[in-house]
Structure 1
Amino acid sequence: MTTLQQIRDWGATHHPRWLVIVRVGLGLFLFAKGITFMHNATLLDRLIYGGASLAENQTHWLPILITWANLLTGTLLIIGCWTRAMALLQIPILIGAIIFNAQRGVFAPESELILAILTLLLVLFFLVEGGGPLSLDGYFEKNKGRGSHGDILP
């Protein structure tokens, strides 16, 4: 049995139902951060690139990628679809957020270092734990091999 299978089996047998609330809360938080970044794109652009300005017809691609990744991962974590893949996608973004916030310091105005670290820990937890039984991941795993009418496929 591979390590990934052992992690998956452990997650399936040790998943309390209250973790659904934590997963949905994490998804709502990531989705809200995506909305915040979309609403105030210049803030994220300034955080990443400093004061470097662009010509009028140019845009930076990284803030757009981070915004849409937060919206996508937040939505899919809320419903519990591809939970581990979405957690894996979010890890580099959160590491970047920790690096940017660490440069400014914990007590700097608008610093979200502690929040970024807490979010990274939760994302790492759900990378191991998965979506659990009350998620689309759990539903698909439970109904693997069934046809559209509930019949077992040959």
Structure 2
Amino acid sequence: MEMINRIERWGDTHHPAWMDVVRIGLGVLLFVKGISFISDTARLSHLISDMDFHLYTVMAVHYVAFAHIFGGFLIALGCLTRTAAIFQIPILIAAVFFVNVRAGFSYFNSELWLSMITLLLVLTFTVIGSGKFSMDEWLKNHNN
């Protein structure tokens, strides 16, 4: 537990202000991706069923869409950023290593690159947190 607290303190003190713009962009991207998954659930369930994923495909589709929509919204606001980012990690690992790798490593596989960059950013915000311009910071300063 002490290690987690030290990582949080380090992340809070080493968070440049320009990363808040990146956090908001990441949140909007995840939110839009979640909306696109909801609008085309047949494509998402086809992607998940191709993975030979032995859980219920419908549950996985709803988890991905729900996590992207609400997690993206929370990340964009800077509210519970670390928690919302943690919920994105299994989805993005599956997207990078199980779904998009089948299309091959090429410059033309834009979904693979998008998934890899998003995974890297989600891992970054899991460590550094939401930053100075966030709802978490506002609530911390205006709690009284």
TM interval, short-chain normalised: 0.7 to 0.9
Which runs of 4 or more aligned residues in structure 1 lie more than 4 Å from their structure 2 counterparts after TM superposition? 108-111
Deviation at 1:103?
Answer: 2.1
RMSD: 2.4
Paired residues, number: 140
Q: Given that residues 106 and 112 in structure 1 are in contact (C-alpha distance below 8 angstroms), is that contact kept between their aligned partners in structure 2?
A: no
**More divergent stretch after superposition (97-106 vs 18-27):** 97-106
Unpaired runs of at least 5, structure 2: none
Q: Given that residues 103 and 109 in structure 2 are in contact (C-alpha distance below 8 angstroms), is that contact kept between their aligned partners in structure 1?
A: no
Larger Rg: 1
TM-score by length of 1: 0.82
Residue in 1 that maps onto 2:105: 106
Match of 2:86 among 82, 85, 88: 88
Deviations 1:116-153 (A, max 9, x none): 11100000000000001111111223345x2xxxxxxx
Counterparts of 1:133 and 1:82 in 2: how far apart (Å)?
13
Deviation at 1:72?
Answer: 0.5
TM-score by length of 2: 0.87
Deviation at 1:109?
Answer: 7.1
Question: Where in structure 2 are the equivalents of 1:139-150 lying within 5 Å?
Answer: 139-144=138-143, 146=144
Question: Where in structure 2 are the equivalents of 1:73-84 lying within 5 Å?
Answer: 73-84=71-82
Residue in 1 that maps onto 2:6: 6
Q: Given that residues 82 and 125 in structure 2 are in contact (C-alpha distance below 8 angstroms), is that contact kept between their aligned partners in structure 1?
A: yes
Q: Given that residues 81 and 131 in structure 1 are in contact (C-alpha distance below 8 angstroms), is that contact kept between their aligned partners in structure 2?
A: yes
Partner secondary structure for residue 123 of structure 1: helix
Q: Given that residues 105 and 111 in structure 1 are in contact (C-alpha distance below 8 angstroms), is that contact kept between their aligned partners in structure 2?
A: no
Would you tell me which structure has more helix in proportion to its own residues? 2
Unpaired runs of at least 5, structure 1: 53-58, 147-154
CA pair 122-108 structure 1, distance change in 2 beyond 3 A: closer
Q: Given that residues 20 and 134 in structure 1 are in contact (C-alpha distance below 8 angstroms), is that contact kept between their aligned partners in structure 2?
A: yes
Percent identical pairs in the alignment equals 41
**More divergent stretch after superposition (87-96 vs 9-18):** 9-18
Deviations 1:6-34 (A, max 9, x none): 11211222111111100000000000100
CA pair 82-7 structure 1, distance change in 2 beyond 3 A: same
Higher relative contact order (CA 8 A, sep 6+): 2
